[in-house]
Homo-oligomer: A and B are copies of this chain.
Amino acid sequence: MSQPPDQPDPYARVVHRFATAGKLAAARMMLNWDAQTNMPRGGAWARGEQMAALTEVSAELIGGDGVDDELSEAEELAARLEPDERADLKEMRRTWVHAAAVPKALQAAKARMSQELQAIWTRAKPENDFKSFAAPFDELLKVQREIAAAKAEALGTSPYGALMDEYDPGVGERLVDPIFAELAQALPPLIAEVLERQAGWPDPIPYPPSPIARQTELSHRLAIAVGHDPEQFRIDAAPHPFSVPHSPGDVRFTTRYDEDDVRFSIMATLHEAGHAMYEANLPRAFAFRPGGMARGMSVHESQSLSLEMMAGRSREFLEHLAPLMAEVLGGDPEPYSARNVLNATRRLDDDFIRVNADELSYPLHVILRYRIEKALLSGDLKVADLPGVWDDMFEKMFGRRPPSLAKGCLQDIHWAAGYIGYFPNYAMGALLAAQLFERANAEDPAIRPALARGDFGPYFTWARSRVHARASLVGFDQLVTEATGQPLSADAFMRHVRRRYLEEPAP
C-alpha cells in the first residue's frame, strides 16, 4: 500500500507510509471541523461513512500486515539517520504499537459502541436518565478493558497507563499520581482562603448581553493579537469549541458565542487560539509525520492554558482587554472598567461543571474523574454505583452536592465517546502552563509589559523554539526539563495561584 514509486529506501518507505496516514488523519479532522460548522443536518450519515473509511484506511496503513517488518528494516539503518529522523522513526514505532496491539474487531466494536453511546448520552444527560446510559456504558467498558489489557501487554504498562500513553506519552501514572495527591491536599484549603478574601469584595457588575456580531469582531481582534496570520487561520462558531490539528498554514479553531455572557467567547477564543498557535508553529519539515505532531495532550493543553489562563487572565492583559471590550462591544462602558473586568475574572465559581470551573477548582474536577475512571476500568467501581460515588466524592472535595446527573457524572461526553485516560492532561496541562510561563517571564522580562499592550508575541517567541518547534522529536520529560530547567511538578502552579489569588491587590 505505502511504497511510493521510486522509493526503495526503507526509511523513506516508512516515512511515506506514516505521512500518508497523517494526511488522511488531517483530512478527517478537517471534515470533522466542517461537520461542526458548515454541514447541513442531512449530511450526518454520509459524513460518518466518510470519516469511518478514513479511520479504517489510516489504521490499516499504520497497523496492517508487514508494517512491523518495514519499521524493523528502517530501524536497522537508524544509525545513519539524523537525530530528528531517528526521533521520528521512534514515534512511528510507538504509533504502530498502539495500532497493532489491538485486534481490528475490537477497535471496530469500540468505534461502533462509542458512537451509539454518545447518542444515548445526548438524550440521557438533560433527562438525568442514568438507567439508559448504564448498560451500554458497562458494555463499552468491557471492550475498553480488553483494549487496555492488549495495549498494556505491548507497552509494559498498567492497563490504565496504556490508555493514557495513547493521548499523552510520557505523562503516566508515575508522574500524575503524586502530583494529583499533592493538589488534592493543597487546593481545598487554598480555595477556602481565597473565598474568604473575596467575600469582602464588591459584587462585580454583570456584563450586559452582547450581539454575536460584536463578539465575533472581538474574537477576531483577539486572534490577531495572539499572533495568528490572517492568511493562515480562520475562526468560526461551533457548539463545542475546538481547534483543528495537522493542516500547516490553515489553522482553524472555533469558539462559542453566548449573547448573554461574552466571557465564554473571549475565553474559548483565547484557549483555542493557544492550541492553534502550537499547531501553526510545528516544524513544516516533519508535517503529517508522527515526529512532527504535537508532543501530547498535556503539552497541547499547556499552550491553550498559557494563553487563556496565564497570559489571558494576567492583570496586565485584563487591563488591556477591558477598554478593548468597551470599544468593540459598545453600550454602557461601566461593566468594562479595568476594575470590574478584573473583579469578574478573579472570582471563584460555586458551580458543578468542569468546563466552567475557575483556575483553582479545575484540577480538582479532573482529579475526581481520574480516580473514578481508574476504578471503573479496573472494575473496582461498578457502573451502577457511579452516580452515588461521584456525588459523594464531589461533596467531599467541594463541600456541595450536585443537584442532578447533568451537573454530576453525566456532564462530560468523554466516557460516552470512549475517552478513558484522557482527563489527566487537562490538569497536567495547567501545571505545565504555569511552569512554562514562569520560566518564560524569568528569561524575558518583556513578556508581561507586552501583554499590557495586548501583544502576545514575546511569549510565543519564547514558546515557539522551546515547545512548538520540538514537536514530538523529543520526549515529554526532556521537553519540559530543557524548557524550564526541571521536570514537571505542581510547584509553579501553586506559586502562580497563590500570587494571583492571595497576593495580587484586590480589584
Contacts and interface: CB of A to CB of B under 8 A. Distances in A.
A226 to B, nearest CB: 15
Interface string A36-76: 00111111111101101110110011001000000000000
Interface stretch (A20-28, A136-144, A266-274, A333-341): A20-28
Given A27-B53, A40-B233, A46 B5 contact: no
A108 interface: yes
Nearest to A39: B250
B30 A247 contact: no
A355 interface: no
Contacts of A50: 23-24, 26-27, 30, 247
A39 B230 CA distance: 11
Interface string A7-30: 000000000000110011011101
A287 B47 CA distance: 12
A104 B5 contact: yes
Contact of A34 (B1, B34, B43): B34
A190 to B, nearest CB: 43
A133 to B, nearest CB: 27
Nearest to A230: B40
A232 interface: yes
B40 A250 contact: yes
A57 B19 CA distance: 12
Contact of A250 (B4, B27, B47, B234): B47
Contacts of A40: 230-234, 249-252
A30 B43 CA distance: 12
Nearest to A58: B57
A53 B24 contact: yes
A104 B1 CA distance: 12
Interface residues of A, number: 52
A27 B54 contact: yes
A323 interface: no
A350 B448 CA distance: 66
A234 B57 CA distance: 29
A248 to B, nearest CB: 5
Nearest to A248: B46
Nearest to A233: B40
Contacts of A45: 248-249
Contacts of A31: 27, 30-31
A79 to B, nearest CB: 29
A247 B46 contact: yes
Contacts of A44: 249
Contacts of A1: 1, 57, 60, 64
B54 A24 contact: yes
A82 interface: no
A260 interface: no
- The secondary-structure label for the interface of chain A is helix
Contact of A49 (B23, B47, B252): B23
B232 A43 contact: yes
A27 B6 CA distance: 27
A149 B251 CA distance: 43
B5 A42 contact: no
Given A108-B5, A250-B39, A49 B288 contact: yes
Interface in A246-294: 246-252, 287-288
B42 A231 contact: yes
Contacts of A28: 27
19 contacts: A1-B57, A1-B64, A4-B56, A5-B105, A5-B108, A23-B50, A23-B54, A26-B46, A26-B50, A27-B53, A38-B38, A40-B233, A40-B234, A40-B249, A40-B252, A41-B231, A43-B249, A44-B249, A46-B247
A229 interface: yes
B234 A38 contact: yes
A23 B250 contact: no
Contacts of A249: 40, 42-46
Most buried by B among A39, A40, A105, A232: A40
Contacts of A108: 5
A26 B48 CA distance: 12
A288 B53 CA distance: 11
A20 B55 CA distance: 11
Nearest to A109: B5
Interface in A59-99: 60-61, 64
Interface in A125-172: none
The 4 closest A-B pairs by CB, nearest first: A43-B250, A42-B232, A23-B53, A42-B249
A1 B62 CA distance: 11
A19 to B, nearest CB: 8
Contacts of A26: 46, 50
A26 B34 CA distance: 14
